Structure 1
Amino acid sequence: MPTRARLALLCQFALFGILNVSWTSRLPSLMTALDIDAARLGQLLIVGGVGSLIGALSSGAVVTRIGARATLAAGVLGHLVGFGLLATAAFTGSVAVFIPGALINGVSSALTNVSINVSAAAVEQRMGRAIMPQFHAMFSVGAALGALIAAGFARAGLGIGVQVVVVLAGATVLRALLIRPATSITLAGSRAATRGGAAREALSAWRERRTLLLGLVLMAASLTEGAAGTWLPLAVVEGFAANEDVGALAYGSFVAAMTLVRIGGTRLIDRFGRVLVLRLSGVSALIGLLLFVTGPSLALAWVGVILWGFGAALGNPIATTAAADDPLRASVRVSVVTSFSTVTSLAAPPLLGLLAAAVGTRQSLLVVGAFIVLSLALAGNARREQPDTIR
């Protein structure tokens, strides 16, 4: 049973990565289809971010009330509707259709994210060893596959609308078939709550010091990973007068390093514990970031990219696992900490963009270093605690 659930969840994480990245890799085609410029696209993408924030803030109560299985089913159905509207918008050139699609997709992504992470925490607890990084590694693999799929459709001259329909159809069928096995294991002691009780329980998690500090750890981890995805290729091109393909290759090296550590990091966590691994990860990310920002040559900066990728790998899964230590409170606490990463994904790109315009893209990334230092200071909160001591 644990093995079957683990394999189903690995597939769910990968499919989630494919859905998230395949369409965002075709944003230039989307701009053409909707006949909008980059500024207008940025405004429209904020709608999806708002949906993600709404979903992140409510998903803890939803999972507590109806369970991870029903929440995941709602996320799959929501993506079917949301991406369906996105494809329709691409075919018709309608911004008005795109807006509700982006909003629904944002909410659905948050519901999916919390439900599969809660289910992964349940499988991890049943197996008695750290396996959460493997799930996040599969998301990275799915993201890479999504980018390759997008590149294939683009090379074939097929529009984003066609791509979304094809990818959505295949992913939805697979996700639907895997819902039951992926959620077959629940956290020990988990319970359903009344509608009002679920809301009160979700709100109470926002008053827990440890949960909020873990949220800050996850915020730093999300920024460490996300800043590379948004700005690393451009920083390479601008900072070293390199071609665009070199910037893309540098980011590919970052993803490869991160995925490698996520696959093998479970043994490190089991052997050395969450706190030490989290601190070593922070040190690696900080050294790598500083090498990239200050390195006088592309070769030295590339070494920094690899170290940065190594360090960015485990913060997210460690913080998520730590939030799920108490089975009774896992869903609401995972919801709270993932809300921090959602806020980061909303606020960081435009703020870093403004800073990059003022001091340069590569130099602006030093801000990420400050958050890594914060994560190092708060790493002790990831220490495993008994349910009756987590407050």
Structure 2
Amino acid sequence: MSMSAQPADWTREVGRVRAARTATLLVFGLNGFAFATWMARVPDVKDMLSLTPGQLSLLLLAISVGSLCGLPTAGRIAHRIGAANTVRLGMVVSLSGLVAAGIGVEAHAAIPVMMVPLFLVGLGIGAWDVAQNFEGSIVEQALGRSIMPWFHAGFSGGTVVGALVGALLTWLAVPVGLHVGGVAAVCALGTWVLSARFLPAYDEGASDAVGAAGPHRSPWLEPRTLLIGLMVLAAAFTEGVANDWMAVAFVDGHETSNALGVVALAVFLSFMTAGRIVGTGLLDRFGRIAVLRVMFATAIVGCALVVFGPPWLAFIGVAVWGVGASLGFPVGMSAAADDPARAAVRLSVVSTIGYGAFLIGPPLIGFLGDRVGVLDALLAVGVVSLVAILVVPAARPLEAERAEP
């Protein structure tokens, strides 16, 4: 790697690093706020458009397909134009799609019409997600300690706020279009301003940064990267199924109101956020492997309580599930970014594999939901979490891996 493409040294610019840390945390939060805004209105969308679980899964699938179209190249785009510009690009595309989807719901648009703006939502979110994780890895390297779960806690915190606001506005019968339009405006302004504080990955003027990964083989051929991607896929499935279907499962399976179903989603998101805040200390004390195994096992227990328990116990299960789902995704991102010079391209690969869960999850749960009910279909999370426990060792830090005989 040429000297002009060396990773930037931020050790003497503590103030700038801290500003970037705060900005990155808030950008993660705005991303989560925008995402949860749509998820909170899914029960209303289902009712307004008279959708079956299978039809609803097609709408959710459109978001996933969009994400998977953007993710494979997002890492190289971030290398070429920077994390800040890539976040802004993804934000504009995703929020434009969100506003158009809100208008479509109010107009009772047909499913094929609704799938177009939701595809844009996914396309933009995919680029936004890779770029903010790339920036998170830059800040993490600059600080010299593991804080990626904090950034994902910021995302989760944003989803909690989004879900609670969504529950309130659902109860107040605020139109979906007005709700998502207002949120889009707030998130667009905030993200544009905050991303100006991001740190570049390489020294100023390093125009050949993208070439840093050139001499290496494709990350798609690296066994460790692929196994981390599989673990992240399982974590994303565990988290994504709850985001997409928790409210619907409580409404259809436990016969709660739409607003109470959104509260169940908010409980899940709140405890997932708490798990990410506390989890950083656990990772430092016990290491990635032990903590991840316990977390995935906890998700299995929580899923079982949600499905088999009465409503009061199901709410406890939601909390347990949220804790169990908290660390798999952010730790997978940290593991993919262990080598700073290869962080962006490996993050792109791991994110692409991980977002496969959002491609698989909606149709799988929708298909099972049409046959056994959405609530019982959630048991698929337990099966996927068992697979994750088997591949967790791939997330072992590279330093530890190299130290082994």
TM-score, scaled relative to structure 2? 0.83
Residue type at the aligned position of 1:215: G
How far residue 176 of structure 1 moved from its aligned partner, in angstroms, is: 0.7
The separation in 1 between residues aligned to 2:318 and 2:190, in whole angstroms, is 34
Contact 2:40–2:262 (Cα < 8 Å) also in 1: no
Matched AA of 1:144: V
The answer to whether the aligner puts 1:287 opposite 2:301 as a matched pair is yes
2:241 aligned partner: 227
Whether the 8 Å contact between 1:202 and 1:332 is mirrored in structure 2 is: no
Aligned equivalents of 1:276, 1:187: Cα separation in 2: 33
Distance 1:228 1:88, change over 3 A: closer
Q: Which amino acid aligns with 1:159?
A: P
Partner of 2:379: 366
Q: Deviations over 1:34-60 (max 9, x none)?
A: x67456654444333221110112212
In the alignment, which residue of structure 2 is the partner of 1:352? 365
Q: Do 2:305 and 2:316's aligned partners in 1 also have CA atoms closer than 8 Å?
A: yes
Q: In the TM superposition, what are the counterparts of 1:110-125 in structure 2 within 5 Å? A: 110-125=126-141
Higher mean C-alpha deviation, range 316-325 or range 368-377: 368-377
The residue that corresponds to 2:329 in the other structure is: 316
* 67 and 305 in structure 1: CA distance in 2 versus 1, 3 angstrom threshold: same
Could you say what secondary structure the match of 2:355 adopts?
helix
* 1:263 and 2:277 correspond: yes
Name the counterpart of 2:12: none
TM-score of the superposition, structure 1-length normalised? Answer: 0.85
1:141 to 157, 160, 184: 157
Q: Given the superposition, is the C-alpha separation of residues 87 and 255 from structure 1 closer, same or farther in structure 2, using an over 3 Å criterion?
A: closer
- Which letter maps to 1:165? G
One-letter amino acid of the structure 2 residue matched with residue 108 of structure 1? G
Match of residue 304, structure 1, among 317, 320, 329? 317
- Whole-angstrom CA distance in 2 between matches of 1:287 and 1:152: 30
- Residue 292 of structure 2, aligned match among 257, 264, 278: 278
Shift of 1:86: 3.6
* Counterpart code for 1:353: G
Could you tell me which amino acid in structure 2 is paired with residue 227 of structure 1?
Answer: V
Instruction: Identify the residue that residue 204 of structure 1 maps to in structure 2.
Output: 218
Counterpart code for 2:277: I
Indicate the SS of the match to 1:103.
Answer: helix
Residue 12 of structure 2 corresponds to residue 14 of structure 1 = no
TM-superposed CA distance for 1:193, in Å, is 5.0
Distance 1:327 1:75, change over 3 A: same
The Cα of 1:387 is off from its aligned counterpart by: 11
1:168 aligns with 2:181: no
Q: Is structure 2 residue 397 aligned with structure 1 residue 381?
A: no
Tell me the secondary structure at the aligned position of residue 59 of structure 1: helix
Q: Which residue of 2 aligns with 1:101?
A: 117
Q: Tell me the SS of whatever aligns to 2:146.
A: coil
Alpha-carbon spacing, 1:191–1:276, altered in 2? closer, same or farther (3 Å): farther
CA–CA distance in structure 1, aligned partners of residues 401 and 191 of structure 2? 36
Mark the CA change 1:366 to 1:43 in structure 2 (over 3 Å): closer, same or farther: closer
Gaps of 5+ in 2: 1-15
Q: Distance in 2 between matches of 1:56 and 1:272?
A: 32
- CA shift in 2, pair 1:151/1:316, >3 Å: same
Q: Do the aligned partners of residues 348 and 189 (structure 1) sit closer, same or farther apart at CA in structure 2, a change above 3 Å counting?
A: farther
Residue 303 of structure 1: CA displacement? 4.0
Contact 2:303 2:321 in 1 (8 A): yes
Query: Does the 8 A contact of 1:18 with 1:145 survive in 2?
Result: yes
AA at the equivalent of 1:23: W
**Contact 1:215–1:338 (Cα < 8 Å) also in 2:** yes
Aligned to 2:228: 214
Query: Within 1, Cα distance between the matches of 2:332 and 2:43?
Result: 34
Shift of 1:357: 3.6
Change (3 A) 1:165 1:219: same
The superposition leaves residues 271-299 of structure 1 with CA deviations (integer Å, 9 ceiling, x where unpaired) of 2211111112122222333344455x555
Structure 1 residues 326 and 140: CA distance shift in structure 2, 3 A: same
Residue in structure 2 matched with residue 78 of structure 1 by the alignment: 93
Q: Do the aligned residues in 2 keep the contact of 1:189 with 1:328 (CA within 8 Å)?
A: no
Give the C-alpha shift of residue 115 in structure 1.
0.5
- Number of residue-to-residue matches in the alignment: 386
Q: Deviations over 1:210-251 (max 9, x none)?
A: 111001111111111222233444545565566656554444
Tell me how far 1:102 sits from its aligned partner. Answer: 2.6
Going from structure 1 to structure 2, the CA distance change for 1:98 and 1:200 (only over 3 Å counts) comes to: farther
2:397 match: secondary structure: coil
State the shift of 1:198 in Å.
8.8
Are the aligned partners of 1:221 and 1:312 in contact in 2 as well (CA < 8 Å)? Answer: yes
- Seen in structure 2, the aligned counterparts of structure 1 residues 91 and 292 have a Cα distance that, compared at 3 Å, is closer
Q: Which residue identity lines up with residue 127 of structure 1 in the other structure?
A: L
CA displacement 1:62-85 (0-9 Å, x = unmatched): 122322122112112323543454
Of 127, 135, 139, the match for 2:143: 127
2:64–2:122 CA contact under 8 A, matched in 1: yes
Deviations along 1:93-125, one digit per CA (max 9) or x if unpaired, are 666875543333221111100000111111112
**8 A contact 1:87–1:160 mirrored in 2:** yes
Q: What is the DSSP-based 3-state SS (H/G/I as helix, E as strand, rest coil) of the residue aligned with 2:82?
A: helix
